Amino acid sequence: MKAKARFTIASLAAALVTSTALFSAAIAEEVKIGMVVTLSGPPAALGQQIVDGFQLALDQNGGKLGGQDVTLIVEDDELKPDVALLKAKSLVERDEVDFVVGTVFSNMLQAIFKPVIQSDTFLISPNAGPSTFAGKNCNPYFFVTSYQNNQNAEVSGMIANEEGFEKVVLMVPNYQAGRDNVAGYKQTFKGTVADEIFTPLGHQDFSSELAQISTADADALFTFMPGGMGVRLVKQFEAAGLGDNIEFTSVFTTDETTLPGQQDAAVGFLSAGAWAPDMKNDANQAFVSAFEEKYGYVPGSYAAQSYDTANLIASALEKTGGDMSDKDATRAALEAADFTSVRGSFAFSNNHYPVQDFHLLEVAKRDDGKFWTTAKRTVVTDYADSFHAECKM
Amino acid sequence: MSLTLLLIQCLNGLQYGTLLFLIAAGLTLVFGVMGFINLAHGVQYMVGAYLVFAFHQLTGSFAAAVVLSLAAALLLGLLLEYFVFRHLYGRDHLSQVLATFGIIIFLNELAKVIFGPGTLTIEPPEFLAGSIQLTEQLRYPVYRFVTILAGLAVAVILYLTVTRTRVGMLIRAGATTPEMVSALGVNVQKLFMIVFGVGAMLAGFAGVIAAPIFAIEPGMGDNILIIAFVVIIIGGIGSIRGAFLAALIVGLFDTLGRTLLIEGLELVFPPSFSNQVGPALASMLIYILMAAILVVRPQGLLPAKGAA
């Protein structure tokens, strides 16, 4: 009798324990994802692409990723490091998110990196890929699904070699990313750099720089002028008639975010990248047509990388069954990158930066009158960044 | 640097200068005559660019779009004067700065809501689309020549209006002793409204002219406003002649300085050093120029006569 009673209490207790375990598992099923991107000022178009790309992946799966219900909290960093820091902190501390997805710009990433990482929350960058966290400061909680910042410029240097450019003028805005692109280009380019021009950030009138370029007797111009700067440069480059003698090559200057402004002036211009909306794999074609139907504009690399980020998280949640308590299991699942990327090949290097193919891209006008970039040929396959050897992971 | 390149850079500097003049002219009138700090002047420049874009979409004609944009810019200026600025003339500069700063934020966001955050472009009209072959490699768009001419024309018209007409006389008088002008039975409020409307229209005109050269985007007027303030301070506040002279000086100094400075540094220092320091120094040039001029002539180069 006594023994029986003890048994009942024990089983009761056991039942209680299992039920609380079940209960907490049920809570954990709702996965919270915080997003920190730039949604104010002229660069808002880039942040919006990231939000739209992620939202598309969510909507296609009925608001779930990897079978788990997902709450997405979007925050605007206003392109101010202090605001980014505040938003990231509130996501981690108040909302207790499981993943932080961000940012567009590398300097915003530097601002949010520490507080997110120190709270053992996974930070996944859908665009910014600074060298800072690719080498010896790589981190088990940090992933990049885009590229390492220098890579596109390095590939541009390879393209210049292949195209037989002997003399090239480099022109970039005078800030860190601009100088990184110059360094990356010089690393692979074998010809002569005729001139290096550094303009102020947000430069309006390139007429004096274009006059300078016209006297340099160069085969090509390599530039990195994201956003409005790129729109102005391309228009003014065409108006100055430089296109007849000098090949325009660039990164992040003639892409889907700037082409609606540049239009015909940019057609035929070359760039380097890991993705183009016309890439022939099934996942990409489905993504591009669904995206255009939903949002009415041609997605750029920002949207594609963000869509990949959502699918990466989905693949990890599928593997772990949504259990966010086991960080190591989640990390292993993320590292496996077991999802179909719109870029075709995709894997993570030891530093959690992507290993992927890079292509020569060319701007083209579509039959429906819209503009996009097309992948002409693959320049380098399974290309890892130059810093991963320094990472001890 | 070859002589050809130097001449081309002078042309570029001249073109930049005339554009700066168009923006600074309205600012210096409003600041000089009314003693009113209008930070929203730059955003009115942006509004001009968006207006010409919108009207061009609607009418399909560049000429019609220019006329409509000017009318709309004038109307917006008068509305802003009536609803906002009129109530701030008697207040201190801090209130004016706060209110006009609010207008910047409001209109920048409004542009983003209506037209989206992306960068828009507009083609110059067909008959100005050609270009002149300057050197074997370089062409100069006809449209840029036209902007220089437009700037010079506005300068002449403004100068004649201010020095030769009755309204101009009142403006000059109002700038010097507003109490006396008022005591003589002139409706100062109406005068201010006219000045403000013209100032807004000039800013809008600058935006219209600039739109086909530069792209149109939210916040495009924010940086140029700072340069415009530099221009009117160098030229002497309230002085049209001063604004014109200063705009050309700043335009040429900035354009030539940018290239000459780096070339000059390269003669003395290794390229890596001049590449690091040159661009940073080049962007400070006009502010250094302003400081230097203010040391020699605290009133600016050509101060409005009799201004305090």
Confidence label for A6 from pLDDT (cuts 50, 70 and 90): low
- Percent composition of chain B: helix, strand, coil (DSSP 3-state, to 5): 75, 5, 20
In sequence order, which ranges of chain A are alpha helices (DSSP H)?
2-28, 44-60, 81-93, 106-118, 149-163, 176-188, 207-214, 228-239, 259-262, 282-295, 301-320, 327-336
Q: Is A233 on the interface with B (CB under 8 A)?
A: no
Residues of B in contact with A232 (CB under 8 A): 214-215
Q: CB contact, 8 Å: A389 with chain B?
A: no
Question: Cα dist. B43→B8, B109, B204, B305 in Å?
Answer: 30, 11, 9, 29
How close does chain B come to A48, measured CA to CA in Å? 9
Q: How far is B252 from chain A (nearest CA, A)?
A: 11
Average pLDDT (A329-335) is 95
**C-alpha span between A120 and A100 (Å, rounded):** 11
Tell me how close the Cα of A264 comes to any Cα of chain B, in angstroms.
Answer: 11
Task: Please name the residue that has the structure tokens 């080498």.
Answer: A135
Interface contact flag, A261 B120, Cβ < 8 Å? yes
Supply the pLDDT for residue A52.
96
Q: Is some CB atom of chain B closer than 8 A to the CB atom of A227?
A: yes
How many Cβ pairs closer than 8 A exist between chain A and B?
105
Q: Distance between CA B142 and CA B132 in Å, rounded?
A: 7
Task: Classify residue B306 by burial, with Cβ atoms within 10 Å: 0-12, 13-18, 19+.
Answer: exposed
Per-residue pLDDT, B99: 93
* Opening angle at CA A147, ends A379 and A160, nearest 5: 30
Is residue A95 within 8 Å of residue A36, measured between CB atoms?
no
Instruction: Check pLDDT > 60 for residue A28.
Output: no
- CB-CB: which of A42, A207, A208 is closest to B219? A42
- Are B259 and A212 inside 8 Å of each other by CB? yes
Element (H, E) at A247: strand A247-250
Q: How far, rounded to the nearest angstrom, does the alpha carbon of residue B81 sit from its chain's CA centroid?
A: 19
CA–CA dist A41, A59 (Å, integer)? 27
State residue B135's pLDDT score: 84
Listed residue (A95, A91, A250, A96) closest to A178, CA to CA: A250
**Closest Cβ opposite residue A215 in set B5, B120, B143:** B5
Determine the average pLDDT of the residues in A321-329. 91
pLDDT score recorded for residue A193: 94
Does residue A264 belong to the interface with chain B, where contact is any CB pair within 8 Å?
Answer: no
Note whether B138 contacts A214, CB cutoff 8 Å. yes
Tokens read off for A141: 């909680």
Cβ atoms A148, A184 nearer than 8 A: no
Distances from the Cα of A60 to the Cα of A53, A174, A333, B255, B303, angstroms: 11, 41, 22, 52, 66
Give every residue of chain B whose pLDDT is below 70, as ranges.
1, 305-308
H and E: helices and strands count for chain B? 11, 2
Backbone angles phi, psi at A338, to 5 degrees: -85, 60
Of B5, B141, B223, the CB nearest to A239: B141
d(CA A72, CA A35): 7
Question: Hey, of A205, A213, A259, A371, which one would you mutate to test binding to chain B, going by the most B CBs within 10 A of its CB?
Answer: A205
- Of the CATH numbers 1.10.10.10, 2.10.109.10, 3.40.50.2300, 3.30.420.10, which one belongs to the domain with range A150-273+361-383? 3.40.50.2300
At residue B266, the pLDDT reads: 81
Q: Do B120 and A41 touch (CB under 8 A)?
A: no
How close is the nearest chain A Cα to the Cα of B120, in Å?
5
pTM: 0.86
Nearest 5°: the CA angle B26, B32, B33 is 90
Contact B139 A45 (CB under 8 A): no
Residues 6+ apart with CB under 8 A from B145: B132
**Side-chain half-sphere CA neighbours of A94 within 13 A:** 8
Kindly report, residue by residue over A93-135, the tens digit of the pLDDT.
Answer: 999 999 999 899 988 999 999 999 999 999 999 999 998 899 9
Q: Measured between beta carbons, which residues in chain B are less than 8 angstroms from residue A235? A: 121, 213, 215
The end-to-end CA distance of chain B, in Å, is 44
For the stretch A63-88, pLDDT in tens is: 999 999 999 999 999 889 999 999 99
A263·B121 Cβ contact <8 A = yes
Asked if B112's CB is within 8 angstroms of A44's CB, the reply is: yes
The H or E element spanning position A173 is: strand A167-173
Q: Is the pLDDT of residue A183 over 50?
A: yes
- pLDDT value of residue B308: 37
Q: Where are the beta strands (DSSP E) in chain B?
A: 131-133, 139-141
SS3 content of chain A, % helix, strand, coil (to 5): 45, 20, 35
The tens digit of pLDDT for each residue in A282-307 reads 999 999 999 999 999 999 999 999 99
Kindly tell me the burial class for residue A59, based on how many C-beta atoms sit within 10 Å of its own C-beta (0-12, 13-18, 19 or more).
exposed
| Minimal C-alpha gap between A262 and chain B (Å) | 7
Determine whether the interchain pair B118/A261 forms a contact, defined as Cβ–Cβ distance below 8 Å: yes
For the stretch A186-226, pLDDT in tens is 999 999 999 999 998 888 899 989 999 998 889 999 999 98
List Cα–Cα distances, A373 to A299, A324, B84, B146, B253, in angstroms: 10, 39, 47, 34, 39
A214 CB-side CA count, 13 A: 29
| pLDDT band, very low/low/confident/very high, at A35 (cuts 50, 70, 90) | very high
Say yes or no for a CB contact (<8 Å) between A262 and B121. Answer: yes
The whole-angstrom separation of Cα A387 and Cα A148 is 9
Q: Tell me the C-alpha distance between B204 and B26, whole Å.
A: 10
Question: How many other CB atoms sit within 10 Å of the CB of residue A175?
Answer: 13
Q: How far is A65 from chain B, CA to nearest CA, in Å?
A: 29
Token readout for A382 is 């399974």
Across the strands, what pairs with B302? none
CATH of region A27-147+280-348: 3.40.50.2300
pLDDT-derived band at A23 (thresholds 50, 70, 90) equals: very low
* pLDDT one-digit tens code per residue, A136-162: 999 999 999 999 999 999 999 999 999
For residue A161, the distance in angstroms to the closest alpha carbon of chain B comes to: 23
Distance CA A67, CA B29 (A): 65
Instruction: Give the span between the Cα atoms of A28 and A23, in whole angstroms.
Output: 9
SS3 at position A143 = strand
Q: Residue A21: pLDDT above 50?
A: no
Q: Between A231, A244, A245, which is nearest B119 by CB?
A: A231
The residue among A101, A150, A151, A153 whose CA lies nearest residue A127 is A101
Cβ-based burial of A252 (10 A; exposed 0-12, middle 13-18, buried ≥19): buried
Domain with CATH 3.40.50.2300 in chain A: 27-147+280-348, 150-273+361-383
Q: Which of A52, A76, A231 to probe the B interface (max B CBs under 10 A)?
A: A231
pLDDT at A22 over 60: no
Best of B138, B226, B253, B254 to mutate (most A CBs within 10 Å, chain A): B138
Determine how many CB atoms are found less than 10 A away from the CB of residue A7. 10
Please provide residue A336's backbone torsions phi and psi, each rounded to the nearest 5 degrees: -65, -25
Strands A142-144 and A270-273: unpaired
Percent of chain A clearing pLDDT 90 (strictly above): 77
Contacts of A236 in chain B (CB under 8 A): 213
pLDDT tens by residue, A347-365: 999 999 999 999 999 999 9
- Collect all residues of chain B within an 8 Å Cβ-Cβ radius of residue A257: 118
Whether B121 and A235 lie within 8 Å, measured CB to CB: yes
